[in-house]
Chain A
Amino acid sequence: MNDILKIADKEFSSRLFTGTGKFSANNLMSQALIASESELITVALKRVDVANKEDTMLQSIMRPHVNILPNTSGVRNAKEAIFAAQLAREALETNWIKLEIHPDPKYLLPDPIETLIAAEELVKLGFVVMPYIHADPVLCKRLEDVGVPCVMPLGAPIGTNKGIKTVDFLEIIIAQSNVPVIVDAGIGSPSHAAFAMELGADAVLVNTAIAVSKNPVEMAVAFKMAVQAGRMAFKAKLAPVKTHAEASSPLTSFLN
């Protein structure tokens, strides 16, 4: 199936992006990520020992066709995010950055103001910026204006596994976006992922639901299949949902 997702200069045949937090062991994480067939894997810069080329976490992810996406998790404002992105570029030799600015450590909700400021600056500095944001259609357009190659609105608060709670806003974002929309955060089960893809999301990012599952490898496969199914259904065009039944015995035919 020739259904390639293009973001900036890279092409992806898998629309399941994954994360690296919360796994019980690096080898299990590695197996799950291989099983997921994910080609874009995000890593919290704060978890990586950048001075150590043998860092075990990075070693467990690096494979051909896999792109590492460093994220700025832990920073609280645009200034810190820009600094972290520059460190990541130097240490991991990639200009891709997942921009996460959550000054609130409790719910880890993204700061829209700082994110827009940082995104604009980072784009100017030559970064491929993937911003993690609220499902805010206006913010998405503003980010598009400053040159981000995609947007990553949340489905529900991060780590909650609650599913696609922002559906009404995601529909608007998907309808009017000129860049790929990747639903990030809140996806707790394969059916949530499939639903996001059916809505027309270009990809989803899943971490907690795989990492914390009793069997992360099988769960990774389940997500892979769900994302494929959801994408296929979207492309095949779902039958419209109808509010009212169509009566088989029309009441007004006598008028003809």
Chain B
Amino acid sequence: MMSFKNTFDTYDWDTLEKEIYSYTAKDVRVILDKEKIDINDFKALISPAAQDFLEEMAQRSHTLTKKRFGNTIQMYIPMYLSNECQNICTYCGFSMTHKIPRKTLSDKEILKEVAFLKSRGYDHILLVTGEANKTVGVSYIKHAIELIREHFSNISIEVQPLDQDEYEQLIDAGLYAVLVYQETYHKATYKIHHPKGKKSNFHYRLDTPDRLGKAGIHKIGIGALFGLEDWRVDSFYTALHLKYLQKTYWKTKYSISFPRLRPHQGEVQPKVEMTDADLVQLICAYRLLDEDVELSMSTRESERFRNNIIKLGITSISAQSKTNPGGYVVDPQSLEQFEISDERDTEEIKLMIESQGYQAVWKDWDINHA
């Protein structure tokens, strides 16, 4: 079966790393003068040498984003349904090794959380779970979508990877998008951080977007978890993945997320630090590579950073997020997956967006249309 694995296997991590670190300012200048940036040019734009061109890249990213997305920022909110998990992920607060109370929301609890989120104006929701296939399998997720679909115009999930036929069931129930991050494209490092559970299968995860594309999903979100490995190489693989998917599943939309490791219950500290300047460089590089890809920013990032990123190329953000099941009203004290950084409420974020000349958009889809 053709999948991203065929493309992935033609690249070698160490060779790419050497190449990315070998670019000079002169190389970057030549590439920035090109009209179209391709995947090879992207390597230079995420290289250390491109740091000197950050302002120029930011200006260009701003203009391109405005042309395609206008003066708008899409709002979304995550809702954690469960923290049950049979995986060990060294960096995650929900890892099965942690002796924390486990909770999966009941229908009544889900609707309580929904009522709160609706009162804040949200219409695009992201449902999040750990990986516990017996209790929080495809039938639970499908039921949750059916339960909330009359309340939201757009429903996305960030859950365990599923099979194609399972995704088809969820799409029929009203699912719009699936976010599935590879965490790292470095096979050996992936193995270290995911030693046990279904998630330890690197290739099953790698080919998840292919299964989603074949199932006919509307949108796929991909990304790497920054801190596990060198962010530059992981980002090149993510961009490669994006370009492969766009060509293969051309009816699907794509989004990229930029999670940086945050403090949590686990002990793993970032192996490679990613600075604010690095993250800005990466966001701009993605925009220069692709005018149309959605770029998403969560509340993992600080107030100051999020205020300044609105104009740089980001197209959707969350606000006031809770990363624990029932975190909004049902059980606010339960343990979070990770600590968020920007704790401002939704109204404050909306005003922040408006003060920069952008409109916070709440609804840009209709679950009943498709």
Contacts and interface: CB of A to CB of B under 8 A. Distances in A.
Interface residues of B, number: 27
Contacts, number: 79
Contacts of A48: 363
B71 A211 contact: yes
B370 A76 contact: yes
A21 B70 contact: yes
B67 A46 contact: no
A25 B354 contact: yes
B252 A105 contact: yes
A22 B69 contact: yes
Contact of A212 (B70, B369, B370): B70
Nearest to A160: B67
Contacts of B366: 45-46, 50, 74, 84, 87
Interface string A85-103: 0010000000000000001
A80 B251 contact: no
A168 B285 CA distance: 36
A22 B70 contact: yes
Interface residues of A, number: 32
Nearest to B66: A212
A159 to B, nearest CB: 6
Interface string B292-310: 1000000000000000000
Interface in A120-142: none
A2 interface: no
A161 B68 CA distance: 10
B361 A47 contact: yes
A209 to B, nearest CB: 10
B253 interface: yes
Contacts of B370: 74-76, 80
Nearest to A79: B370
Contact of B292 (A44, A46, A49, A106): A106
A74 B250 contact: no
B332 interface: no
Contacts of B246: 106
B53 interface: no
Interface in A149-203: 159-161
A26 B123 CA distance: 18
B369 A24 contact: no
A23 B70 contact: yes
Nearest to A103: B251
Given A46-B365, A75-B369, A212 B252 contact: no
A23 B358 CA distance: 8
Contacts of B357: 24
Interface string A29-59: 0000000000000001111111000000000
A89 B361 CA distance: 24
Interface centre among A80, A107, A159, A161 (most CB of B within 10 A): A159
A22 B73 CA distance: 10
B252 A74 contact: no
B10 interface: no
Interface centre among A24, A83, A161, A211 (most CB of B within 10 A): A24
Given A74-B369, A87-B366, 14 more contacts: A23-B71, A24-B71, A25-B354, A25-B359, A46-B363, A49-B153, A50-B366, A74-B366, A75-B370, A80-B369, A103-B250, A105-B252, A105-B253, A160-B67
9 contacts: A21-B70, A23-B71, A24-B72, A46-B369, A48-B363, A74-B369, A104-B251, A106-B246, A159-B68
**The 3 residue pairs across chains A and B that have the minimum distance between CB atoms:** A22-B70, A24-B71, A105-B253
